[in-house]
Chains A and B, each alone.
Chain A
Amino acid sequence: MIIYAQDVAVKFPWRKERSRTLRRTLMQMLNGRTPSQKQWFWALRGVSFSLNEGEVLGVIGRNGSGKTTLLRTIAGIYSPDEGAICVQGTVSTLLSLGAGFQPALSGLENIYINGVLMGFSEREIDEVVEKIVEFAELEQFIDSPVKTYSSGMIARLGFAIAVHLRRDIMLIDEVLGVGDVKFRQKSQEKIREMMTEGRTVVLVSHNMESIRQFATQALWLDRGLVRAQGTPDEVIQQYLNPQ
């Protein structure tokens, strides 16, 4: 088993005020008011599943149902507040494209910074850097600062980095809509290629077709709870026709 989750729950503080400030905290203390009792919002509750090597888990659910939280928990960005999650192997994420870019630096420099942050060595990045640039179709612009890029170019570069610097487990969060039609086709092909390579993948998507096509098992999240779990066809059937 490569990913094993047992009753995973993740909570967030339910915030009423816009942001906490020292001034507000001091005022509350001076007025003898204890900071109001913290309320929690459970983004995930009692989620259990296990995934073997080479399997693809498709996660479906409405907006705000906890899909992204689940991916971030698998990636180790959040730690579960209850339950346990065990991930064997290294994880790479396709969560949000170009999040770590430094606008003032060139595309090439950003490839290296991103790669190093993901835990790759300089030499490993050297090996794929040409492929990344070629895939992102940014040959002419790779030495220009990223702040001069269009949003499509940033997304392309982010996607290219994420798919070329890969780890054992891939987490994909509906980034399939990248750039123009042509690039979208190309990126979908790339994802298809990775899935059929026998890589372990967790895929979050609203596209039932791609879940049906790639997933070996599916999970339906509804307000942080698992509504259904099983083969993709069954789960999609229930999701589309809830009683």
Chain B
Amino acid sequence: MRYFIWTDLRLIYSNKLLGFLWTLLDPLMMMLVYVLIVVVIFQRGGPQFPVLLFSALLAWRWFTFAIVGSVKSLTGKAKLIQTMRFPKAVLPLSRVLVGLVNYLFGLLALVPLLFIFKAKFTVHMLWMPALLAIQLLFTLGLAFLFAALGIYFRDLENILQFGLRLWFYLSPGLYSIEDRISERWVQIYMLNPFASLFESYKNVLVRGKPPNAYIGIALFWAVAFFVVGWMFFVFKEPQFAKDV
């Protein structure tokens, strides 16, 4: 397992400094694009908008990296699966964990932003490991699910790209819930695990507040999808070598 993560990291960071810089620059540039659109063109977003956006974007990058990578994690290693017997779960798992490592590096870029935009440093930041654990569980569940489905539907990746984009706009990354979502819809809106996750990241990192009140829903989805994804993966695993 350790070797898989290490291998993937080596591949990403193989250009030494450049590879490392890219994982920092990538979410930063994404943020700048959104800042250009929202702050400069639409003249919206508060004074802390860039850092609020970045704290959500960083988590979202981890999620998309893991899910998109998982879809091809088994089909990309077809030859290996047909010549060796090993626990196939390491393939999507390593993708998720590599994404987590990237995320942790990304925090290096977040810290200066927290200072620049005068975020509140409070004890609520200690919630971060718990929030990351919820997202990890949720991401793992979907990663297992999509890794297995990726074998049977070769065009899944294209649809997923679209779905993920839509999902991001339906989550409070570019806006906050109070500003944009009316009371009537909040209950339904919060069924999205990333609604409470994004809000919670913003709360504990920037606003100096405790996590969002709906974080329990995200935890519920995380556990549910982890169990379902894992069971589906294990159920289909004996067939992978034939179908891949």
Contact = CB atoms under 8 A, between A and B. Distances in A.
A105 B84 CA distance: 20
By size class, the interface of chain B is 20 to 34
Interface residues of A, number: 30
Contact of A117 (B11, B84, B155, B241): B84
B44 to A, nearest CB: 37
Given A102-B7, A105-B11, A25 B153 contact: yes
Contacts of A75: 84-85
A21 B154 CA distance: 5
Nearest to B14: A104
B238 A79 contact: yes
A43 to B, nearest CB: 9
Contacts of A93: 83-84
Contacts of B115: none
Interface string B204-244: 00000000000000000000000000000000001001110
B155 A116 contact: no
Contacts, number: 69
A1 interface: no
A13 B80 CA distance: 21
B82 interface: yes
Contacts of B241: 72, 77-78
Interface in B107-160: 152-156, 159
Given A20-B153, A22-B156, A78-B241, A100 B7 contact: no
B19 to A, nearest CB: 11
Contacts of A104: 10-11, 14
Interface string B13-53: 01000000000000000000000000000000000000000
Contacts of B14: 104
17 contacts: A20-B152, A21-B154, A22-B155, A22-B156, A25-B153, A72-B82, A77-B82, A77-B83, A77-B84, A79-B238, A93-B84, A96-B83, A99-B80, A99-B84, A100-B84, A109-B10, A117-B80
Interface of B: 3-4, 7, 10-11, 14, 77, 79-86, 152-156, 159, 238, 241-243
Interface of A: 12-13, 19-23, 25, 72, 75-79, 91, 93, 95-96, 99-100, 102, 104-105, 109, 112-113, 116-119
